[in-house]
Amino acid sequence: MDTDVTAVRRELGAHLRAHRALIGPEQAGLPAGGRRRAAGLRREEVAALAGVSVAWYTWLEQGRVAVSRQVVDAVCRVLRMSPAAHRHALELAGFRSPALPEVVDGVVRPETRALIDGWPDSPALVLDDRLDLLAWNAAHRRLWGDPAALPAERRNLLLFLAAARDRLPPEGAEPLLRGLYQHFRASTGHDPEHPRTAEIVRLLTAGRPDVAAWWQCRAVTDFPPTTVTVTGAGRLTFTLLRPVADPGRQLLVQTPSGAPLRT
């Protein structure tokens, strides 16, 4: 079997196991019963509710079998997955959206650069699906410094914000970093063994071992607009956008919430 296919099937199995551990029997419409050795539903309970055999579901969690979309949908319903987690499971099972035009690493269309440069007072970045920084505007440089001064391997939104403890108080850093990391997992799960993805997780773990549990979490989500206090700038709302004409790229825009942005 192709190594990449095996890796993605294992990732799907891990995704299912993580969500199975989060669902209690009462949530699935089952009696609580006696004491359980592990949190969440048992494999045989998921199999019965999804209409598959226990052996086959076990192989699915072990990454040993291909799966139909109908079965993925059934398992996701049993596990009460959010729309983002359900979509992630479908992508890992091979049911991805129609192929987009090929994306060239590091390349940003001139129209996308012109777009962020047209926001003189809103710090903005152009990112790829791994949240690596590809371009930035003058407002971002004024607020955060020039990303060009960072070593190439550290030009990543997660790495940058994880290291910005002097600018992000803990109560703001946690929801921001958690949300972006879960979005990162959703965007990169279809290629879990990509060397850059592994490098980012390694650098995050080394740089912020105090929150190692965040980097081990398997939750996925679409990043929602998140408002945090940035020291020296006030309350900012971080929003991710996708330009239709520049597939594979994301825009992170920071807009003031309340008082005007201080830069």
Q: Measure CA 170 to chain center.
A: 20
Fold classification of 110-256 (topology level): Beta-Lactamase (3.30.450)
In terms of pLDDT, which residue wins out, 101 or 28?
A: 28
pLDDT score recorded for residue 206: 94
Return the CATH number of 3-92, one of 3.30.200.20, 2.60.120.920, 3.90.930.12, 1.10.260.40: 1.10.260.40
Report the percent of the chain where pLDDT is more than 90.
Answer: 56
Higher pLDDT among residues 244 and 262, named by residue: 244
DSSP string, 121-186: TS-EEEE-TT-BEEEE-HHHHHHH--GGGS-GGG-BHHHHHHH-TTTS-HHHHHHHHHHHHHHHHH
**Residue ranges covered by each domain of the chain:** 3-92, 110-256
pLDDT in tens, 23-56: 888 888 887 766 777 778 899 999 899 999 999 9
Query: Using CA atoms, how far apart are residues 167 and 163, in angstroms rounded to an integer?
Result: 9
Distance in angstroms (rounded) separating the CA atoms of residues 233 and 222: 26
Lowest mean pLDDT of 2-6, 31-35, 57-61, 102-106, name the range: 102-106
Average pLDDT, the chain: 88
pLDDT at 210 over 80: yes
pLDDT grade, residue 100 (50/70/90)? very low
**pTM score, two decimals?**
0.74
- What does the alpha-carbon distance between residue 52 and residue 20 come to, in Å, rounded to a whole number? 15
Residues in the chain, overall count:
263
Longest dimension (CA), the chain: 62
Q: For the residues 190-210, what does the mean pLDDT come to? A: 89
CA–centroid distance for 149 within its chain? 26
Q: Would you tell me how many other CB atoms lie within 10 Å of the CB of residue 11?
A: 23
Q: Can you point out the beta strands (E) in the chain?
A: 124-127, 133-136, 226-230, 234-241, 250-256
CB-CB contact of 176 with 236 (8 Å) = no
What single-letter amino acid sits at 220? V
Query: Is pLDDT above 90 for 128?
Result: yes
